[in-house]
Amino acid sequence: MKDRYVVAECPRCHTLLVADARYKSKTCPKCGSRIPIDSLKVIQTARDSREARMILSEAKARRGGVGPKMI
């Protein structure tokens, strides 16, 4: 993986989060479970934390507001 940051979804509670790809795992801020980076449902990767946060807020905006409709 060439990009350092990963915008992904927690496989347990489906919270969107940003993970640093340098680490092997990420603790979900919502459910607190420790998830190996490999197990995250990656949405997009980013080169820096600013880009990652932007992608994260866009993904949240897309998901929020319109109800629990999943595509």
Instruction: Give the residues lining the site for Zn ion (CB under 5 A).
Output: 10, 12-13, 15, 28, 30-31
* Token output for 64: 């929020």
Distance CA 70, CA 55 (A): 18
Residue closer to Zn ion by CB (options 29, 47) is: 29
- The letter for the amino acid at 7 is V
Residue closer to Zn ion by CB (options 41, 47) is: 41
- C-alpha 28, offset from chain centre: 9
Q: Are 11 and 26 in contact (CB under 8 A)?
A: no
Query: What's the closest the beta carbon of residue 17 comes to Zn ion, in angstroms?
Result: 8
Query: What's the closest the beta carbon of residue 7 comes to Zn ion, in angstroms?
Result: 14
DSSP state of 37: G
Query: What's the closest the beta carbon of residue 27 comes to Zn ion, in angstroms?
Result: 9
Residue closer to Zn ion by CB (options 1, 31) is: 31
